[in-house]
Amino acid sequence: MSFIRRNIWGLGLGVLLVGALIAMALASKNTGLPSPTAVAQSSYDFVFTPEDHIKGAQNAKVTIVEFSDFQCPACKSYFPIIEEVLKAYPNDVRLVYKHFPLRTIHFRAEDGAFASEAASNQGKFWGMYTLLFDNQDTWVKESGSATFEKYASDLGLDVSKFKTDFASGAVKEKVRAAEKFGIDLGINSTPSFYVNGKKIDNPQSLQEFKTLIDQEIKNSK
């Protein structure tokens, strides 16, 4: 009995901490936000559809799946690296882009994703993708959709349709479905890469990425 009396405050604190962790996990699940304690699955058998954003060789030996956020500075840093990888392996590598806007810390990321999907409805996803990363320092400081509409005009899109699609439920649903897929996979940071279905530690240079890809090509033979 004396042991319980001496430790009642510690036991109570432990219960409170456990309760807080459970509450955080439930809150994350209920609000559709990534859990900060999530661990991404080490491998996944991805199935791609015409709805996916795919760039590169159609019958690639190496498929890079990237979970990314248009407002994420690290994603912007990897953008030219991925472009160089695709140029270096035109017949062997393809990129599959997956939306994962970290909207609790990147307050414009979701709008960027909506802009890319509105452009995609007119066949210009990759054009908008490039403009969003190239001009990240500009649009992230703004509000509204005026700058996105300018990008749409620069891409030769029907701006009226773009504005309608940007605000549409269908575009929002597509982005949030992609985000939920990432959350279910355990993703909680961007960029996160899978190469041929295996989660990788982010390469620190173009050369590291090429070494990884060369090994995957060799394995495919």
- 31-77 residue pLDDT tens: 577 787 788 899 999 999 999 999 999 899 999 999 999 999 999 99
The DSSP bridge partners found for residue 95 are: 55, 64
For residue 91, count CB atoms less than 10 angstroms from its CB and return exposed for 0-12, middle for 13-18, buried for 19 or more: exposed
Helix (H, G, I), strand (E, B) or coil at 55: strand
| Cβ-based neighbours of 58, under 8 Å, separated by 6 or more | 94
* pTM, full prediction: 0.84
pLDDT, tens only, 71-84: 999 999 999 999 99
Q: Tell me the CATH number of domain 53-220, given options 3.40.30.10, 3.30.1330.10, 3.90.1260.10, 3.40.50.2020.
A: 3.40.30.10
The DSSP output letter for 61 is S
**Domain coordinates of the chain in residue numbers?**
1-31, 53-220
The two structure tokens encoding residue 108 = 């414009």
221: confidence class by pLDDT, cuts 50, 70, 90? confident
Mean model confidence pLDDT for the chain = 87
For residue 12, count CB atoms less than 10 angstroms from its CB and return exposed for 0-12, middle for 13-18, buried for 19 or more: exposed
